Amino acid sequence: MEIHFQTKEESNRKQLEDFLKLSKAERFYQFLRLMEKVNQFPVKHKNDTNSNFIIQIKAS
């Protein structure tokens, strides 16, 4: 294992270069893998029905 010290800009440039070296199909599959990983993040769901904004129009 090697440790490389680099700036954020250098790191971002290297990631971009590595990504652009991939074929279009590989880029698409990489994107799908990223979306799959994002869906695994824990998320809080708010189920509070009292916070809904309800407009009631009463017939006269």
| DSSP per-residue codes, 15-48 | HHHHHHHS-HHHHHHHHHHHHHHHHTS-------
Q: What is the pTM of this model?
A: 0.52
Domain boundaries, the chain: 8-40
pLDDT at 17: 96
pLDDT, one tens digit per residue, over 25-53 is 999 999 999 999 998 888 777 766 666 77
Q: How far apart are CA 28 and CA 26, in angstroms?
A: 5
Nearest to 19 by CA among 11, 30, 9, 8: 30
Nearest to 34 by CA among 45, 19, 44: 19
